Amino acid sequence: MDWVRSFYSQTGAWWGAAEAKITERDHRRATLLREHGGARSMRVLELGCGYGTTAAVMAAAGHTVTAVEISDRADRANDLARDAEPGRLSVVQDDFYAVRLPHHFDAVCYWNGFGVGTDADQRRLLARIARDWLTPGGVALVDVYNPFVWAGWDGNEAHKLPRPEVGYRHELYQRLTFDPVTCTATDTWWDAADPQHKISQTLRCYTPADLSLLLGGTGLRLAAVTVGGHTFDAATARPSFRELLSERHEYVAVLRHE
């Protein structure tokens, strides 16, 4: 996982000026938190918070948020924390596999990031959520990459021209591949000005059934799946369900203690 800090710091430097902005997606996530965690004000841990936009919206909704981020994107999250109501949003620049936090949380969120490293790494993280962070009765909301959609993107390439007026200052290339044996997507980027220097993220994707297997022994169970506005029990079959077969590249796993 050596690539993590540098990949997200580099890509944050490329497009952070355009993307470190609160959008409708951050508000949708805060709404999901209310739907699954309840209307009360909660102590929330956000893992891999990136620029901190969702953390800021959750803090503005009245939660007390601790946001952990390993890359330099934490600088932008710290900017948002300075604008938040005092004490509502703390940003910790650290590795969530190593960080020690002084208390437990009513909710743990990991938006758009789960799947880095091996299955053993994911299980280590899930076990930390269950044991070190989540209060009894708490909820974890974890975005999981959906293999059906990522597989369909295998071989896709993109050429992104600069749009400095909206903060995209670099001319970039992207190539996506999907490995059906390891069920991982590899997302490679390079700057047109430096084509020898390519950087990649590799993301393990899980179907809901495979995620349920992964959770075994971690202390967490898959209580529900939320995708495209539908929330359902992961044990219920959904033949021909378009959202997962072809439309959504990730789904939200709602996790609770066993």
Ligand X SMILES: C[S@@+](CC[C@H](N)C(=O)[O-])C[C@H]1O[C@@H](n2cnc3c(N)ncnc32)[C@H](O)[C@@H]1O
Positions touching ligand X (CB under 6 A) are: 4, 8, 48-50, 68-71, 73, 95-97, 111-113, 116
Q: Whole-number minimum distance, CB 73 to ligand X, in Å? A: 5
Q: Whole-number minimum distance, CB 214 to ligand X, in Å? A: 17
Q: Whole-number minimum distance, CB 112 to ligand X, in Å? A: 4
Tokens of 174: 């992207």
Query: DSSP E strands: which ranges in the chain?
Result: 43-47, 64-69, 89-93, 105-114, 134-145, 157-160, 172-179, 184-191, 199-204, 220-227, 230-232, 250-257
Tokens of 146: 């959906």
* Nearby residues of 76 by Cβ (< 8 Å), 6 or more positions away: 12, 16, 20, 51, 52
Q: Whole-number minimum distance, CB 202 to ligand X, in Å? A: 12
Q: Whole-number minimum distance, CB 76 to ligand X, in Å? A: 10
Q: Which residue is nearest to ligand X (CB)?
A: 48
DSSP reduced 3-state for 210: helix
Given the complex with ligand X, which of 18 and 245 has the nearer CB atom?
18
Given the complex with ligand X, which of 160 and 238 has the nearer CB atom?
160
Given the complex with ligand X, which of 58 and 183 has the nearer CB atom?
58
Question: What whole-number distance in Å separates Cα of residue 101 and Cα of residue 121?
Answer: 19
Given the complex with ligand X, which of 117 and 152 has the nearer CB atom?
117
Given the complex with ligand X, which of 1 and 166 has the nearer CB atom?
1
* Nearby residues of 199 by Cβ (< 8 Å), 6 or more positions away: 3, 6, 7, 10, 11, 188, 189, 190
Q: How many CB atoms lie within 10 A of CB 207?
A: 16
